[in-house]
Amino acid sequence: MTAHAISVQGVSKIYPGGVHALDGVSIDVRPGEWVAIMGPSGSGKTTLLSILNGLDKPTSGRIQVLGTDTHGFGPDDWAVFRRENIGLVFQQFHLIPYLTAVENVMLAQYYHSMPVREQALAALERVQLAGRGHHLPSQLSGGEQQRVCIARALINDPKIVLADEPTGNLDEENEARVLELFRALHGEGKTLVVVTHDPEIGCAGERIISLSHGKVSKDSATAAGARLATVGGPPGSSGDPCATSAHA
Ligand code: ADP
Ligand code: MG
């Protein structure tokens, strides 16, 4: 049986206080697939991503990542698993304010293996921030800070990149740069799961999963995904939210 990159099986999450943030969610993501998670505020997107990276636990249901059943994982197992396999990009940048851009990237490297300044600088170059390594976060624009975060997420060469509203705080130009980076990562075969409000970001991927009140309300290939689908893969895209905004 071929392993999915991510397999979510009947996952529910009830927060203390009784909020049903996720209610029986099942999703399989192929290796190398680029999936967008969309849905209104409060529909459970961040909760799902937090469960996928082990920062939160489901109340019930199972998660397999890269063929590994994470059921018995404790925080330390997750920490090891994350640093070997997962890159995280948040809407809030979470950069250490008194460390420079390159030091922020090296800090992530430190958790992974050994900080190597040259590698951290190369990661910054990759996100078009060569020459800005010695700047503090406060000396960088929001778009540049987000790209430092992406460099930081990529430093361990993760197989899976999880991003929560990565362009939520960005202007159009920086949004386009982040989209370009995602395209490049997808081209390298990384699995991307991107939570977004932005149909343009969502439609750039292969598949959009919509959440509503903690349930999957829709799961369909985008026009781009339908083109890429292998023979016997998912059929077209009726009601494709991208149909009007797709660029030929
Ligand atoms: P989204 O990212 O789609 O906006 P969230 O996953 O953040 O949605 O939230 C889903 C639901 O769970 C919301 O009703 C939210 O208020 C609730 N929720 C999120 N985090 C917590 C928490 N730590 N404690 C209690 N309720 C929470
Ligand atoms: Mg959210």
* Packed helices 142-154 and 172-187: angle between N→C axes, nearest 10 degrees: 10
- Pair of tokens at residue 137: 């976060």
**pLDDT reported for residue 196:** 95
Which of 14, 19, 211 for a ligand 1 pocket mutation test, highest count of atoms within 8 Å of Cβ? 19
CA–CA separation, 136 and 146 (whole Å): 13
pLDDT at 236 over 50: no
Strands 20-29 and 191-195: unpaired
**CB atoms closer than 10 angstroms to residue 33:** 20
CB of 19 within 6 A of ligand 1: the answer is yes
C-alpha of residue 42 to centroid of ligand 1, in Å: 6
**Which two tokens mark 194?**
């991107």
Q: Which residue has the higher pLDDT, 190 or 240?
A: 190
Q: What is the pLDDT of residue 41?
A: 95
Lowest mean pLDDT among 90-99, 120-129, 194-203, 220-229: 220-229
pLDDT tens, position by position, 45-77: 999 999 999 999 999 999 999 999 999 999 999
pLDDT digits (tens, 9 = 90+) for 4-53: 999 999 999 999 999 999 999 999 999 999 999 999 999 999 999 999 99
The CA 34 to ligand 1 mean position distance, Å, reads 24
- DSSP characters over 97-123: TTS-HHHHHHHHHHHHS---HHHHHHH
pLDDT at 239: 55
* Residue 188 DSSP SS3: coil
Sequence-distant (≥ 6) Cβ neighbours of residue 130 within 8 angstroms: 121, 124
Only one residue has tokens 């989209």, namely 179
Q: Where are the alpha helices (DSSP H) in the chain?
A: 45-52, 75-85, 101-112, 117-126, 142-154, 172-187, 199-204, 223-228
Give nearest CA residue, ligand 1 atom 18.
21
Q: Cβ(161)–Cβ(89) under 8 Å?
A: yes
Which ligand places an atom closest to the C-alpha of 91?
Answer: 2
The answer on pLDDT for 91 being more than 90 is no
Cα(38)–Cα(60) distance, integer angstroms: 22
CA of 45 to the centre of ligand 1 (A): 8
Ion ligand 2, residue ranges at CB < 5 A: 45-46
Q: 121 CA to middle of ligand 2, Å?
A: 31
Residue nearest to atom 13 of ligand 1 (CA): 42
What is the model's pLDDT at position 161?
96
Closest-CA residue, ligand 1 atom 21, reads 15
pLDDT for the residue numbered 144: 92
pTM of the model: 0.90
Query: What is the per-residue pLDDT for 13?
Result: 98
Counting ligands in written order, the one closest to the CA of 52 is: 1
Q: How far is the CA of 42 from the centre of ligand 2 (A)?
A: 7
Domains, the chain: 31-60+73-239 (3.40.50.300)
Q: Name the closest-CA residue to atom 24, ligand 1.
A: 15
Substitution candidate for ligand 1 out of 15, 38, 217 with most atoms within 8 A of CB? 15
Q: Which residue has the higher pLDDT, 27 or 115?
A: 27
Nearest ligand 1 atom, CA 13: 12
Q: What is the mean pLDDT of residues 227-231?
A: 62
For residue 138, what pLDDT band results from cuts at 50, 70 and 90? Answer: very high
